[in-house]
Structure 1
Amino acid sequence: MIVIMGIHIAPAAVADFHQVLNDHSRYWGERDLRSLHLLALVQEFGSTCMVARAEDGIRGYVFGFVTPDGTGYVHLIATRDDARGTGLGRRLYTAFAEAAERHGARKLKAITSVENTGSIAFHRSLGFDTKIVDDYNGPGRAMAVFHRDLPLTVSRP
Protein backbone atom coordinates (compact mmCIF):
# COMPACT_ATOMS: atom_id res chain seq x y z
CA MET A 1 0.00 0.00 0.00
CA ILE A 2 1.21 3.50 -0.90
CA VAL A 3 0.16 6.40 1.35
CA ILE A 4 0.63 10.01 0.21
CA MET A 5 -1.15 13.04 1.65
CA GLY A 6 -3.98 11.02 3.22
CA ILE A 7 -4.59 8.98 0.07
CA HIS A 8 -4.00 5.23 0.26
CA ILE A 9 -3.33 3.39 -2.99
CA ALA A 10 -4.02 -0.31 -2.57
CA PRO A 11 -5.41 -3.27 -4.53
CA ALA A 12 -9.09 -2.93 -5.40
CA ALA A 13 -11.76 -5.06 -3.77
CA VAL A 14 -15.15 -6.04 -5.20
CA ALA A 15 -16.84 -3.40 -3.00
CA ASP A 16 -14.52 -0.76 -4.51
CA PHE A 17 -15.57 -1.81 -8.00
CA HIS A 18 -19.23 -1.34 -7.10
CA GLN A 19 -18.50 2.04 -5.50
CA VAL A 20 -16.72 3.19 -8.66
CA LEU A 21 -19.79 2.24 -10.72
CA ASN A 22 -22.10 4.02 -8.28
CA ASP A 23 -20.01 7.19 -8.62
CA HIS A 24 -19.35 6.71 -12.36
CA SER A 25 -20.17 10.28 -13.42
CA ARG A 26 -17.65 11.69 -10.90
CA TYR A 27 -14.89 9.96 -12.90
CA TRP A 28 -16.21 10.05 -16.46
CA GLY A 29 -18.67 12.96 -16.62
CA GLU A 30 -21.21 12.55 -19.39
CA ARG A 31 -19.40 9.62 -21.03
CA ASP A 32 -21.02 6.33 -20.07
CA LEU A 33 -18.16 3.85 -19.88
CA ARG A 34 -19.74 1.47 -17.37
CA SER A 35 -19.70 -1.34 -19.96
CA LEU A 36 -15.88 -1.20 -19.96
CA HIS A 37 -15.78 -1.83 -16.20
CA LEU A 38 -15.37 -5.58 -15.87
CA LEU A 39 -15.71 -7.09 -12.41
CA ALA A 40 -13.63 -10.05 -13.60
CA LEU A 41 -10.59 -7.75 -13.78
CA VAL A 42 -10.81 -7.05 -10.06
CA GLN A 43 -11.64 -10.68 -9.21
CA GLU A 44 -8.93 -12.27 -11.38
CA PHE A 45 -6.24 -9.58 -11.52
CA GLY A 46 -6.83 -7.86 -8.20
CA SER A 47 -3.17 -7.24 -7.48
CA THR A 48 -2.89 -4.99 -10.56
CA CYS A 49 -6.21 -3.20 -10.07
CA MET A 50 -5.67 -0.27 -7.72
CA VAL A 51 -7.84 2.30 -5.99
CA ALA A 52 -6.80 5.54 -4.34
CA ARG A 53 -8.84 5.89 -1.15
CA ALA A 54 -9.26 8.93 1.06
CA GLU A 55 -11.64 9.69 3.93
CA ASP A 56 -14.20 10.95 1.43
CA GLY A 57 -14.15 7.88 -0.82
CA ILE A 58 -12.31 6.60 -3.87
CA ARG A 59 -10.49 9.45 -5.57
CA GLY A 60 -9.16 7.41 -8.48
CA TYR A 61 -8.51 3.95 -9.81
CA VAL A 62 -6.62 1.93 -12.38
CA PHE A 63 -7.76 -1.48 -13.61
CA GLY A 64 -5.25 -3.54 -15.55
CA PHE A 65 -3.42 -6.83 -15.83
CA VAL A 66 -0.22 -8.43 -17.12
CA THR A 67 -0.39 -10.35 -20.40
CA PRO A 68 1.50 -13.61 -21.00
CA ASP A 69 4.09 -11.74 -23.10
CA GLY A 70 5.02 -9.46 -20.17
CA THR A 71 2.94 -6.40 -21.01
CA GLY A 72 1.26 -4.46 -18.23
CA TYR A 73 -2.00 -3.45 -19.91
CA VAL A 74 -3.96 -0.55 -18.42
CA HIS A 75 -7.62 -1.12 -19.23
CA LEU A 76 -9.02 1.90 -17.35
CA ILE A 77 -7.57 4.76 -15.33
CA ALA A 78 -9.63 7.59 -13.90
CA THR A 79 -9.51 10.28 -11.26
CA ARG A 80 -12.54 11.75 -9.57
CA ASP A 81 -13.59 15.23 -10.66
CA ASP A 82 -12.23 16.84 -7.47
CA ALA A 83 -8.85 15.05 -7.70
CA ARG A 84 -7.81 16.07 -11.20
CA GLY A 85 -4.60 18.03 -11.58
CA THR A 86 -3.19 16.76 -8.27
CA GLY A 87 -0.78 14.18 -9.71
CA LEU A 88 -3.00 11.32 -8.56
CA GLY A 89 -3.18 9.80 -12.06
CA ARG A 90 0.61 9.67 -12.15
CA ARG A 91 0.72 8.02 -8.72
CA LEU A 92 -1.86 5.45 -9.81
CA TYR A 93 0.14 4.67 -12.94
CA THR A 94 3.27 4.28 -10.83
CA ALA A 95 1.48 1.89 -8.45
CA PHE A 96 0.19 -0.14 -11.40
CA ALA A 97 3.63 -0.24 -13.05
CA GLU A 98 5.26 -1.47 -9.84
CA ALA A 99 2.61 -4.20 -9.41
CA ALA A 100 2.93 -5.19 -13.08
CA GLU A 101 6.72 -5.46 -12.76
CA ARG A 102 6.28 -7.77 -9.76
CA HIS A 103 4.24 -10.00 -12.10
CA GLY A 104 6.92 -10.04 -14.77
CA ALA A 105 5.93 -7.09 -16.97
CA ARG A 106 8.69 -5.44 -18.96
CA LYS A 107 6.56 -2.90 -20.80
CA LEU A 108 3.27 -1.02 -20.54
CA LYS A 109 0.40 -0.59 -22.99
CA ALA A 110 -2.86 1.33 -23.03
CA ILE A 111 -5.37 2.50 -25.63
CA THR A 112 -7.90 5.31 -25.99
CA SER A 113 -10.12 6.83 -28.63
CA VAL A 114 -8.41 9.21 -31.03
CA GLU A 115 -10.79 11.95 -29.82
CA ASN A 116 -9.61 11.66 -26.21
CA THR A 117 -6.97 14.38 -26.41
CA GLY A 118 -6.65 14.60 -22.62
CA SER A 119 -5.70 10.94 -22.31
CA ILE A 120 -3.30 11.21 -25.25
CA ALA A 121 -1.54 14.20 -23.65
CA PHE A 122 -1.44 12.44 -20.25
CA HIS A 123 0.15 9.27 -21.66
CA ARG A 124 2.67 11.26 -23.68
CA SER A 125 3.63 13.16 -20.51
CA LEU A 126 4.41 9.77 -18.93
CA GLY A 127 6.80 8.93 -21.77
CA PHE A 128 4.53 6.67 -23.82
CA ASP A 129 5.01 6.39 -27.57
CA THR A 130 1.69 6.97 -29.35
CA LYS A 131 0.48 5.51 -32.63
CA ILE A 132 -2.90 5.86 -34.26
CA VAL A 133 -3.89 2.37 -35.44
CA ASP A 134 -6.67 2.15 -38.04
CA ASP A 135 -9.37 -0.45 -37.42
CA TYR A 136 -7.87 -1.31 -34.00
CA ASN A 137 -11.30 -1.53 -32.41
CA GLY A 138 -13.10 -2.86 -35.51
CA PRO A 139 -13.65 -1.57 -39.04
CA GLY A 140 -13.43 2.21 -39.16
CA ARG A 141 -12.60 2.47 -35.44
CA ALA A 142 -9.08 3.80 -35.09
CA MET A 143 -7.56 3.99 -31.61
CA ALA A 144 -4.55 5.71 -30.08
CA VAL A 145 -2.24 2.94 -28.86
CA PHE A 146 0.39 3.72 -26.21
CA HIS A 147 3.58 1.76 -25.47
CA ARG A 148 6.55 2.29 -23.21
CA ASP A 149 9.21 0.20 -21.51
CA LEU A 150 9.44 -0.30 -17.77
CA PRO A 151 10.50 0.92 -15.30
CA LEU A 152 8.14 3.88 -15.12
CA THR A 153 9.66 6.86 -13.36
CA VAL A 154 7.39 9.87 -13.21
CA SER A 155 7.50 13.20 -11.48
CA ARG A 156 4.70 15.51 -10.51
CA PRO A 157 3.52 17.80 -13.30
Structure 2
Amino acid sequence: MAVAIRHAHPSDYGRVIGRVNVWWGGRDMAPMLPQLFFVHFEGTSFVAEGDDGQLAGFVCGFVSQSDPEKAYIHFVGVDPQRRGEGIGRSLYERFFEVAGEHGCRSVHCVTWPGNEESIAFHRALGFEVERIVEDYDGPGEDRALLVRPL
Protein backbone atom coordinates (compact mmCIF):
# COMPACT_ATOMS: atom_id res chain seq x y z
CA MET A 1 0.00 0.00 0.00
CA ALA A 2 1.40 3.36 -1.04
CA VAL A 3 1.71 6.35 1.26
CA ALA A 4 1.32 10.06 0.70
CA ILE A 5 3.48 12.45 2.69
CA ARG A 6 2.16 15.90 3.46
CA HIS A 7 2.76 18.72 5.92
CA ALA A 8 1.39 18.09 9.38
CA HIS A 9 -1.61 20.18 10.46
CA PRO A 10 -2.88 21.02 13.94
CA SER A 11 -5.80 18.67 13.28
CA ASP A 12 -3.33 15.76 12.93
CA TYR A 13 -2.20 16.01 16.53
CA GLY A 14 -5.01 13.90 17.97
CA ARG A 15 -4.40 11.11 15.46
CA VAL A 16 -0.66 11.06 16.15
CA ILE A 17 -0.72 11.40 19.93
CA GLY A 18 -3.34 8.66 20.12
CA ARG A 19 -0.87 6.20 18.56
CA VAL A 20 2.48 7.22 20.03
CA ASN A 21 2.35 5.10 23.19
CA VAL A 22 0.91 2.14 21.27
CA TRP A 23 3.61 2.37 18.59
CA TRP A 24 6.26 2.44 21.34
CA GLY A 25 4.99 -0.76 22.91
CA GLY A 26 3.13 0.91 25.76
CA ARG A 27 5.96 3.22 26.85
CA ASP A 28 4.72 6.65 27.94
CA MET A 29 6.17 8.67 25.06
CA ALA A 30 3.26 11.09 24.54
CA PRO A 31 4.67 13.77 26.90
CA MET A 32 7.68 14.07 24.58
CA LEU A 33 5.48 15.26 21.71
CA PRO A 34 3.59 18.45 22.57
CA GLN A 35 0.98 19.84 20.22
CA LEU A 36 3.18 22.87 19.47
CA PHE A 37 4.95 20.85 16.76
CA PHE A 38 1.66 20.62 14.87
CA VAL A 39 0.85 24.30 15.40
CA HIS A 40 4.17 26.14 15.10
CA PHE A 41 6.26 23.77 12.96
CA GLU A 42 3.79 22.69 10.25
CA GLY A 43 6.26 23.64 7.56
CA THR A 44 8.90 21.20 8.80
CA SER A 45 6.71 18.44 10.21
CA PHE A 46 5.05 15.76 8.10
CA VAL A 47 2.58 12.90 8.24
CA ALA A 48 2.44 9.82 6.02
CA GLU A 49 -0.97 8.38 5.20
CA GLY A 50 -1.83 5.14 3.48
CA ASP A 51 -4.23 4.84 0.54
CA ASP A 52 -6.90 4.09 3.13
CA GLY A 53 -6.30 7.43 4.89
CA GLN A 54 -4.81 5.74 7.95
CA LEU A 55 -1.79 7.29 9.65
CA ALA A 56 1.35 5.36 8.64
CA GLY A 57 3.99 7.64 10.17
CA PHE A 58 5.08 11.14 11.07
CA VAL A 59 8.15 13.28 11.62
CA CYS A 60 8.31 16.48 13.67
CA GLY A 61 11.23 18.84 13.32
CA PHE A 62 12.29 22.43 12.92
CA VAL A 63 15.00 24.82 11.77
CA SER A 64 17.13 25.94 14.71
CA GLN A 65 16.41 29.44 15.93
CA SER A 66 19.93 29.60 17.41
CA ASP A 67 21.71 28.46 14.25
CA PRO A 68 19.61 28.66 11.06
CA GLU A 69 22.09 26.41 9.23
CA LYS A 70 20.98 23.51 11.45
CA ALA A 71 17.72 21.61 11.43
CA TYR A 72 16.58 19.28 14.19
CA ILE A 73 14.35 16.22 14.07
CA HIS A 74 12.56 15.96 17.39
CA PHE A 75 10.32 12.92 16.95
CA VAL A 76 9.57 10.34 14.28
CA GLY A 77 7.29 7.35 14.33
CA VAL A 78 6.12 4.66 11.94
CA ASP A 79 3.23 2.27 12.48
CA PRO A 80 4.83 -1.03 13.58
CA GLN A 81 2.68 -2.85 10.99
CA ARG A 82 4.23 -0.67 8.25
CA ARG A 83 7.89 -0.75 9.30
CA GLY A 84 10.29 -1.97 6.68
CA GLU A 85 8.36 -0.30 3.84
CA GLY A 86 10.63 2.77 3.62
CA ILE A 87 8.14 5.13 5.26
CA GLY A 88 10.64 6.37 7.85
CA ARG A 89 13.25 6.95 5.14
CA SER A 90 10.71 8.84 3.00
CA LEU A 91 9.71 11.06 5.93
CA TYR A 92 13.35 11.87 6.69
CA GLU A 93 14.10 12.58 3.02
CA ARG A 94 11.17 14.98 2.83
CA PHE A 95 12.47 16.72 5.97
CA PHE A 96 16.00 16.89 4.46
CA GLU A 97 14.57 18.49 1.32
CA VAL A 98 12.68 21.18 3.20
CA ALA A 99 15.57 21.83 5.59
CA GLY A 100 17.83 22.36 2.58
CA GLU A 101 15.29 24.77 1.07
CA HIS A 102 15.54 26.77 4.31
CA GLY A 103 19.32 27.01 3.93
CA CYS A 104 20.24 24.37 6.49
CA ARG A 105 23.58 22.65 6.06
CA SER A 106 23.03 19.84 8.57
CA VAL A 107 20.32 17.88 10.36
CA HIS A 108 20.64 16.85 14.00
CA CYS A 109 18.76 14.49 16.30
CA VAL A 110 19.31 12.47 19.46
CA THR A 111 18.60 8.91 20.52
CA TRP A 112 19.37 6.68 23.46
CA PRO A 113 22.91 5.30 22.94
CA GLY A 114 21.72 1.76 23.69
CA ASN A 115 19.11 1.85 20.93
CA GLU A 116 21.14 -0.03 18.33
CA GLU A 117 18.19 -0.24 15.92
CA SER A 118 17.75 3.54 15.94
CA ILE A 119 21.46 4.19 15.49
CA ALA A 120 21.65 1.70 12.60
CA PHE A 121 18.59 3.31 10.95
CA HIS A 122 20.13 6.77 11.24
CA ARG A 123 23.50 5.59 9.93
CA ALA A 124 21.74 4.11 6.88
CA LEU A 125 20.35 7.62 6.26
CA GLY A 126 23.82 9.21 6.41
CA PHE A 127 23.92 10.26 10.07
CA GLU A 128 27.02 9.86 12.19
CA VAL A 129 27.21 9.69 15.96
CA GLU A 130 28.78 13.02 16.82
CA ARG A 131 29.23 12.09 20.48
CA ILE A 132 27.58 10.48 23.48
CA VAL A 133 26.57 12.93 26.22
CA GLU A 134 25.95 11.69 29.75
CA ASP A 135 22.92 13.18 31.53
CA TYR A 136 21.92 15.03 28.33
CA ASP A 137 18.21 14.94 29.22
CA GLY A 138 18.71 14.87 33.00
CA PRO A 139 20.38 12.51 35.45
CA GLY A 140 20.84 9.07 33.91
CA GLU A 141 19.38 10.20 30.57
CA ASP A 142 22.38 9.79 28.28
CA ARG A 143 21.95 10.52 24.56
CA ALA A 144 23.79 9.88 21.32
CA LEU A 145 23.95 13.12 19.35
CA LEU A 146 23.58 12.42 15.64
CA VAL A 147 24.40 14.69 12.72
CA ARG A 148 23.96 14.44 8.96
CA PRO A 149 25.30 16.97 6.48
CA LEU A 150 22.93 18.17 3.77
Query: What TM-score results when the alignment is normalised by the length of structure 1?
Result: 0.86
What is residue 153 of structure 1 aligned with on the other side?
none
Q: Percentage identity across aligned positions?
A: 38
> What are the within-5 Å matches in structure 2 for residues 2-151 of structure 1?
6-54=2-50, 55-68=52-65, 69=67, 70-130=69-129, 131-150=131-150
Contact persistence 1:26–1:80 (CA under 8 A): no
* Aligned-pair CA distance for 1:100: 1.3
Structure 2 residue ranges without an equivalent (≥5): none
Runs of 4+ in 1 over 3 A off after TM superposition: none
Query: What TM-score results when the alignment is normalised by the length of structure 2?
Result: 0.90
Residue 141 to residue 25, structure 1, CA distance change in 2 (3 Å): closer
Cα deviation digits, residues 82-129 of structure 1 (max 9, x gap): 110111110000011111112221100000112222111111111111
Q: Distance in 1 between matches of 2:61 and 2:14?
A: 17
Contact persistence 1:60–1:80 (CA under 8 A): yes
Q: Distance in 2 between matches of 1:6 and 1:45?
A: 25
* Aligned-pair CA distance for 1:27: 2.3
Paired residues in the alignment total 146
Aligned alpha-carbon RMSD (Å)? 1.4
Structure 1 residue ranges without an equivalent (≥5): 151-157
Q: Distance in 1 between matches of 2:114 and 2:32?
A: 17
